[in-house]
Amino acid sequence: MVRFVVTVVLLMLLVGCGNIGLLPTSELVQKAIALQLEQTQQQLNQQLDLKFQGFEIKHLKIRQEEPLTIENLPAFRVRGNYDLIFQLPKRQLTKLQQPFEVYLQIQQEGKTWRLLSRSKTSQDNQTVWRSYLIP
């Protein structure tokens, strides 16, 4: 219970003092989206034998940053859109205004951020969070 109260107070401080650098930046969000895309790209390359040669994220627009608590740590649900350019062997594929929703969590020491991915267990339909360090 004490931990929950401390987390709520910390979240209020984070929201109230948005200029202290503890809110997700556009650069951080772009890195998180790139991490998600890299994971998806690897799966597609394996399953469909595609030869993606990279991608570029442009015109990222954050529309909403919602503070919340996930597993007793402050987190944010960030929504918006971006333009995506895939590099293929002989051409380029552009997807405009791609919507995104990412969950980002700052770690207790306040120095690193993690991308959170939500999945449900099949047995009891509980939400399980997977966490990936954002480089």
Give 18-72 pLDDT, tens digit per residue: 434 578 999 999 999 999 998 887 777 777 666 777 899 999 999 999 999 998 8
User: Is residue 128 over pLDDT 80?
Assistant: yes
**For the range 116-124, what are the long-range contacts, defined as Cβ-Cβ under 8 Å and sequence gap of 24 or more?**
116/70, 116/75, 117/36
The predicted model scores a pTM of 0.75
CA 113 to chain CA centroid, nearest Å: 9
What confidence score (pLDDT) does residue 42 get?
76
10 — pLDDT class (breaks 50, 70, 90): low
- Over range 8-14, report the average pLDDT: 51
Mean per-residue pLDDT over the chain, rounded: 82
